Amino acid sequence: MSSKIKVVICSGTACFVMGASDILLLEESLSSELSKNVEIEGATCLGLCKTGERNNAPYVTINGEVMAQATLPKVIARIQELNDA
Protein backbone atom coordinates (compact mmCIF):
# COMPACT_ATOMS: atom_id res chain seq x y z
CA MET A 1 0.00 0.00 0.00
CA SER A 2 1.53 3.27 -1.05
CA SER A 3 -0.25 5.97 0.89
CA LYS A 4 -0.55 5.90 4.62
CA ILE A 5 -3.75 5.00 6.39
CA LYS A 6 -4.98 8.17 8.00
CA VAL A 7 -6.63 7.87 11.39
CA VAL A 8 -8.28 10.85 13.03
CA ILE A 9 -9.20 10.34 16.66
CA CYS A 10 -11.75 12.75 18.01
CA SER A 11 -10.76 13.96 21.42
CA GLY A 12 -13.52 16.48 21.88
CA THR A 13 -15.38 16.32 25.16
CA ALA A 14 -18.17 13.91 24.20
CA CYS A 15 -15.77 11.46 22.59
CA PHE A 16 -13.18 11.80 25.30
CA VAL A 17 -15.59 10.93 28.10
CA MET A 18 -16.96 8.02 26.07
CA GLY A 19 -13.54 6.41 25.78
CA ALA A 20 -11.46 8.22 23.20
CA SER A 21 -8.68 8.44 25.77
CA ASP A 22 -8.08 4.70 25.29
CA ILE A 23 -7.94 5.06 21.53
CA LEU A 24 -5.29 7.72 21.88
CA LEU A 25 -2.98 4.86 22.94
CA LEU A 26 -3.24 3.60 19.36
CA GLU A 27 0.24 4.61 18.34
CA GLU A 28 1.83 2.51 21.09
CA SER A 29 -0.54 -0.36 20.39
CA LEU A 30 0.30 -0.94 16.73
CA SER A 31 2.88 -3.40 15.57
CA SER A 32 5.92 -1.71 14.07
CA GLU A 33 4.87 -3.00 10.66
CA LEU A 34 1.47 -1.31 10.94
CA SER A 35 2.64 1.83 12.61
CA LYS A 36 4.84 2.80 9.69
CA ASN A 37 1.78 2.69 7.42
CA VAL A 38 -0.43 4.75 9.66
CA GLU A 39 -0.69 8.46 10.25
CA ILE A 40 -2.49 9.36 13.47
CA GLU A 41 -4.02 12.69 14.23
CA GLY A 42 -6.08 13.96 17.11
CA ALA A 43 -8.94 16.31 16.42
CA THR A 44 -11.18 18.54 18.38
CA CYS A 45 -14.89 17.76 18.01
CA LEU A 46 -15.54 16.35 14.53
CA GLY A 47 -19.16 17.50 14.82
CA LEU A 48 -20.42 13.91 14.70
CA CYS A 49 -21.56 13.86 18.32
CA LYS A 50 -23.95 16.66 17.47
CA THR A 51 -25.51 15.08 14.39
CA GLY A 52 -25.41 11.46 15.44
CA GLU A 53 -26.46 10.00 18.73
CA ARG A 54 -24.31 11.18 21.53
CA ASN A 55 -24.28 7.54 22.64
CA ASN A 56 -22.40 6.60 19.51
CA ALA A 57 -19.28 8.43 20.61
CA PRO A 58 -16.36 8.03 20.51
CA TYR A 59 -15.83 8.66 16.83
CA VAL A 60 -12.76 7.93 14.78
CA THR A 61 -12.32 8.35 11.06
CA ILE A 62 -10.08 6.00 9.12
CA ASN A 63 -9.30 7.20 5.62
CA GLY A 64 -12.36 9.38 5.92
CA GLU A 65 -14.66 6.52 6.88
CA VAL A 66 -16.49 7.22 10.13
CA MET A 67 -16.39 4.62 12.88
CA ALA A 68 -18.93 5.18 15.65
CA GLN A 69 -18.53 3.60 19.09
CA ALA A 70 -14.90 3.18 18.29
CA THR A 71 -12.70 1.09 20.52
CA LEU A 72 -9.00 0.45 20.33
CA PRO A 73 -9.42 -3.17 19.12
CA LYS A 74 -11.98 -2.13 16.47
CA VAL A 75 -9.70 0.60 15.17
CA ILE A 76 -6.70 -1.75 15.05
CA ALA A 77 -8.76 -4.43 13.25
CA ARG A 78 -9.87 -1.93 10.60
CA ILE A 79 -6.33 -0.66 10.10
CA GLN A 80 -5.14 -4.25 9.71
CA GLU A 81 -7.87 -4.91 7.15
CA LEU A 82 -6.99 -1.82 5.11
CA ASN A 83 -3.31 -2.61 5.35
CA ASP A 84 -3.87 -6.14 4.06
CA ALA A 85 -6.20 -5.02 1.25
Residues forming the site for ligand FES (CB under 6 A): 10, 12-15, 45-49, 57, 59
Backbone dihedral region for residue 74 (phi beyond 0: left; psi -120 to 50: alpha; all else: beta): alpha
Element holding 32 (H helix, E strand):
helix 32-35
Q: Minimal distance in Å, beta carbon 84 to ligand FES? A: 28
**What is the Cα–Cα distance from 29 to 73, expressed in whole angstroms?**
9
**What is the Cα–Cα distance from 42 to 69, expressed in whole angstroms?**
16
Of the pair 53, 81, the CB lying nearest ligand FES is at: 53
DSSP letter, residue 16: I
Residue, CB closest to ligand FES: 12
Q: Minimal distance in Å, beta carbon 2 to ligand FES? A: 29
Q: Minimal distance in Å, beta carbon 33 to ligand FES? A: 29
Of the pair 15, 79, the CB lying nearest ligand FES is at: 15
